[in-house]
Amino acid sequence: MFKLEPRSAPSKVLTLASPLIALAITVLVGVILFISLGKDPLAGLQVFFIEPLKSAYALSELSLKATPLILIALGLSVCFRANLWNIGAEGQFILGAVCAGGVAMQATPESGAWILPAVLVAGALGGMAWAAIVALLRDRFNANEILVSLMLVYVAEMVLSYLVYGPWKDPAGYNFPQTITFLEPTRVPKLVPDLRMNIGVLLAAVAVAGFALFLYRTYSGFQLQVGGLAPAAARYAGFSSRKALWTALMLSGGMAGLAGALDVAGPQGQLTPYVPLGYGFGAIIVAFVGRLNPLGIVFSAVLMSMFYIGGELAQSRLGLPKALTGVFQGLLLFALLACDTFIHQRLRWVGPK
């Protein structure tokens, strides 16, 4: 039989290269998958890795996918570093979109420039409020944050459905489950004319810099990381576990809510039942592939965005199911976990006694 044993000194080079090795494994398995489906593997790899980078339009669309993934993954990285498993960022994303949409629908053609910041702040506060439920139940009743945050995703979807099928339905929308189209003052400004890239990219860049400073240059960030790596040492040093719990979940919820606000006030322009796009779940993979590092998260989010766009192109051009996106995401995470396992542990044969 085989047995896993911890290595005395895991390779630092392999640890840093692990995401690249995982990507190579994912590509290799993808080639085998395309061949087994009777498709040209080069054409398949092209739609996933070349087409999303091929033109200004493609890069613009890539930015729309990457921005929410970066924002959500930054918040999740804080939670995971603090050993808090917020799996419900998708629900916080949805509530952020709902709250932002609620403010946006109050706008009039005469609304001033203040309305857009109000929409974005409402989105962040909505995400924080949804994450606060998780923090409260964990703090007061020691409820498992994994289960609570995940179940709240489905509650958030029900809230969204109730609103767009009910009181917020556009009376002139031919009975489709959607709100009114948000007025121009509430829409996120575009960075480039004729392209959909918007100022969310700039907000994401500021967030990356801010989280890097918070995690590596502030005492609060140090407390969170110590609490996650060595809870006993954190308690001995007098660090507050309650403060770490609330800080991490509020930051995570706020970033997910902001991502939801940018999405509905940007490319979507209204609330529909299709607001949930899986960004909250995809961002979990982004955070881990990016090594919970703000800069690594940027590259990981771009890669994950290529999977989203590649899956759509594979469906339209190659006749493959859109679920292929999830397959590639799952392959990447599985390969990364496998690489990390064998980098930090070795497989040893244990003979019969």
Q: Is the distance from CB of 153 to CB of 280 less than 8 angstroms?
A: yes
CA dihedral 181, 183, 188, 193 (to 10 degrees): 90
| Assigned domain for 130 exists | yes
Q: Is the pLDDT of residue 232 over 70?
A: yes
Q: CB-based contacts of 252: which residues, under 8 Å, 6+ apart?
A: 75, 76, 78, 79, 86, 89, 92, 131
Q: What is the pLDDT of residue 7?
A: 85
Residue 314: what are its φ and ψ, rounded to 5°?
-65, -35
pLDDT band at residue 352 under the 50/70/90 scheme = low
Q: What is the pLDDT of residue 9?
A: 83
Q: Is the distance from CB of 212 to CB of 295 less than 8 angstroms?
A: yes
Higher pLDDT among residues 344 and 202, named by residue:
202
| Assigned domain for 65 exists | no
pLDDT band at residue 229 under the 50/70/90 scheme = confident
| Assigned domain for 28 exists | no
| Assigned domain for 62 exists | no
| Assigned domain for 327 exists | no
How many domains are there within the chain? Answer: 1
Q: Is the pLDDT of residue 351 over 80?
A: no
Percent of the chain residues past pLDDT 70, beyond the cut: 99
HEC secondary structure over 37-49: CCCCHHHHHHHHH
Higher pLDDT among residues 347 and 207, named by residue:
207
- Residue 213 belongs to what domain range? 70-305
| Assigned domain for 314 exists | no
| Assigned domain for 295 exists | yes
Q: What is the pLDDT of residue 170?
A: 95
Q: What is the pLDDT of residue 123?
A: 98
127-152 tens-digit pLDDT:
999 999 999 999 999 999 999 999 99
Q: Is the pLDDT of residue 353 over 70?
A: no
Picking from 2, 55, 92, 23, the residue whose alpha carbon sits closest to that of residue 279 is 92
Q: What is the pLDDT of residue 231?
A: 75
User: In the predicted model, what is the mean pLDDT of the chain?
Assistant: 92
Higher pLDDT among residues 12 and 264, named by residue:
264
| Assigned domain for 21 exists | no
Q: What's this model's pTM, rounded to 2 decimal places?
A: 0.94
Residue 173: what are its φ and ψ, rounded to 5°?
-100, 20
